[in-house]
Amino acid sequence: MKTQERISVPILPRPKMWEAGSGVFRLKAGTSITCDKGLEIPARLLSRLMAEGAGIRCRITRAAPEQGLVLKQVRRLTGIPANVDGYAIQITPRKVILKSATARGIQYACQSLFDLLQQNNEGLCLPCGCLRDWPDFAYRGFMLDVARHFLPLERLKWTLDILARNKYTHLHIHFTDAESFTLPSRRYPKLNQSPKGPHGVYSRADLRKLCDYAAEREIEIIPEIDLPGHATQIIEKYPELACKVDTEGRKPWTLCVGSEATYEFMDRLLEEITPIFPGPLFHMGTDELDFKDLSDRIFWSWKSCPVCRDRMKAESLGNRQELFYYFIRRVHGMLAKHGKRMMMWNDNIDIANPHPVPHDTLVQFWRVAGKGRGPRRGCSMNKFTKDGFEVVNSYYPDTYLDLYVSDDRLINWHPQRAPQIKPEFRQKIIGGECCAWSDGGVDPYQRVLPSSLALFADRLWNRQPVTEPDAFAHSLTKHIFGPRVSPALSPLFHILGGMALHGNKLYELKSPLLKTMPRSKRLEACRQILLEITTERQRDHTLNPQALNEYAGALRALKLKLQPGKRKS
Ligand SMILES: [Zn+2]
């Protein structure tokens, strides 16, 4: 089997190998989906995708038919690396066989099959051919910040559907921050009382539903309680957890990690929260203790607190850094007691010096510590991997959807590419995660996620950079809206000027990557596509109808900008 041109088949993330055959498999109402025992969940997922996205009702059966869609679990697939959830699809005019060694691989095959659906005059069909595909990185994550902007359960489910379409493995939820504590607590009910502004609290029942919904899509939810910094809201409700200092009008930011009351709080809280989430990972935050640049507002109090000083003396800890490690080790022990592996942001581990952070901790690398923020000397990806940690790469210019991400930045990125890493340490980087922060309560993501997460997913699935961004952008529309969307919508991202338009950007006047069209032609295209979107909304047969509304808003703003008489800027 030869490797084909990588985007010649409209599947996202781009598959590794596709060999086109001749003819098509036609889908019609009542087409059967036959599945092996244990593959009922992917069978239902495929059936639902076909119904909602393509309008075709399939029949799930256990009998071996002569034709139809067949989901098969196999011991191993030739030509595909072992243990990576790879899959194969074989399409002939009579039969479509989806194979993998794992249920997760079968789900990926179902998602790819859905991308392959084509609408022609005679209805929906699949082109004949053979596909083999597998991911290059095992950990493919996305982080949502619900502490700064609370999102209802339905929005989280919508996000999980997008993640599943793009073959992600983890949804990391930043549940707590200085602004709110959105996890339910019976032991510390004040954490959930009268939150200010739009913040809400999830019920235990909602969180269980969320975890079930994620598990059906082969996605693990990683909850994050961000401590000992970002603790302003907790301290407001439980002042006994604060350091015994005069903050002189500045915002208390960190828990008192000298006080035994803090450890009792952590232990009881984790005992209560950890059983809600079935996955093995638990994120403890641990980022941003030090804001030398904002020290007039945010106060890190351990140095002047007598309780912290007493603890340092009693435990023979030389400085605040060692006191931080003391906190980490105790919390690590609490999580281990509940069967959880600790995950943490990297910036407060002084990796250039000996440290006692347990090496089974999963480090989320987001920054090379900068001026005034965290231990600086030698804080590099190389040092973390050389030291023996497994790392998830969330390097902040490349992977932050709120401010920095852009097509040209992302198109060549992959988790082992930036920040720089020596070849011998690359294997310790198990994948990457992009982050949607909501500082200031902003929620721009309903428009941003469908396209950005697809592009980011490709960077986690394939080490190979995207060499045909224009073809990629054209495939995106059908990937997001399903096979029945009008082909007239395919230049959508060319008109908007980008695929990974971040939170503050509705459009790009000059695309950093995609072919741009002359201003007058673009204005006309913008008008046309707005009319098409109106028609699509009336036909009501696409996936993600709410995203159509979001894009319509962005296109209307662009149209105003492009109108004659408006200055370029
Ligand atoms: Zn203290």
Q: Rounded to the nearest whole angstrom, what is the distance from the C-alpha of residue 380 to the centroid of ligand 1?
A: 30
Q: For residue 314, report the distance from its CA to the centre of ligand 1, in Å.
A: 14
> Quick one: pLDDT at residue 477?
95
Distance 338 CA to ligand 1 centre (A): 26
What values do phi and psi take at 91, rounded to 5? -115, 120
Of the pLDDT bands very low, low, confident and very high (cuts 50, 70, 90), residue 377 is confident
What is the whole-number distance in angstroms between the Cα of residue 370 and the centre of ligand 1? 25
Give the mean pLDDT of 293-309.
Answer: 90
Q: 230 CA distance to ligand 1 centroid (A)?
A: 15
Pairing of strands 341-345, 281-285: parallel
Instruction: Convert the pLDDT of each residue in 508-565 to its tens digit.
Output: 999 999 998 999 999 999 999 999 999 999 988 899 998 999 999 999 999 999 998 7
Q: How far is the CA of 440 from the centre of ligand 1 (A)?
A: 28
Instruction: Return the minimum-mean-pLDDT range out of 191-200, 315-324, 474-483.
Output: 191-200
Half-sphere exposure of 249 (CA within 13 A, CB side): 1
How remote is the CA of residue 496 from the centroid of ligand 1, in Å?
A: 51
pLDDT tens digits for 198-208?
569 999 999 99
For residue 268, what pLDDT is reported? 98
Average pLDDT over residues 263-281: 98
User: How far is Cα 31 from Cα 23, in angstroms, rounded to an integer?
Assistant: 18
3-state SS, residue 302? coil
Residues in the chain: 569
Q: Could you tell me if 156 and 57 are in contact, meaning their C-beta atoms sit under 8 angstroms apart? A: no
Q: pLDDT band for 444, please (50, 70, 90 cuts).
A: low
Looking at residue 195, its pLDDT comes to 54
Q: 240 C-alpha to center of ligand 1: Å? A: 10
Average pLDDT, the chain: 93
Question: For residue 319, how far is its CA from the centre of ligand 1 (angstroms)?
Answer: 13
Q: Is the pLDDT of residue 1 over 60?
A: no
CB atoms within 10 A of CB 76: 10
> What Å distances lie between residue 192 and 208, 301, 438, CA to CA?
18, 25, 20
257 CA distance to ligand 1 middle (Å) = 6
Q: Say if residue 4's pLDDT is above 60.
A: no
pTM: 0.96
Are the C-beta atoms of residues 542 and 479 closer than 8 Å to each other? no
At 445-487, the pLDDT tens digits run: 889 999 999 999 999 999 999 999 999 999 999 999 999 999 9
- Annotate 244-274 with b (16+ C-beta within 10 A) or e (fewer): ebeeeeeebbbbbbbbeebbebbbebbebbb
Chain centroid to Cα 533, Å, comes to: 27
pLDDT of residue 485: 94
* pLDDT-based confidence at residue 2 (cuts at 50, 70, 90): very low
In sequence order, the 6+-apart residues with CB closer than 8 A to the CB of 10 are: 115, 116, 475, 478, 479
The pLDDT value given to residue 197: 54
**pLDDT of residue 124 exceeding 50:** yes
C-alpha 244 – ligand 1 centre gap (Å): 6
The predicted model gives 406-419 an average pLDDT of 92
Q: How many whole angstroms from 149 Cα to the centroid of ligand 1?
A: 30
Can you spell out the DSSP letters for 5-41?
A: PTTSS--SSPPSEEEEEEEEEEP-TT-EEEE-TT-HH
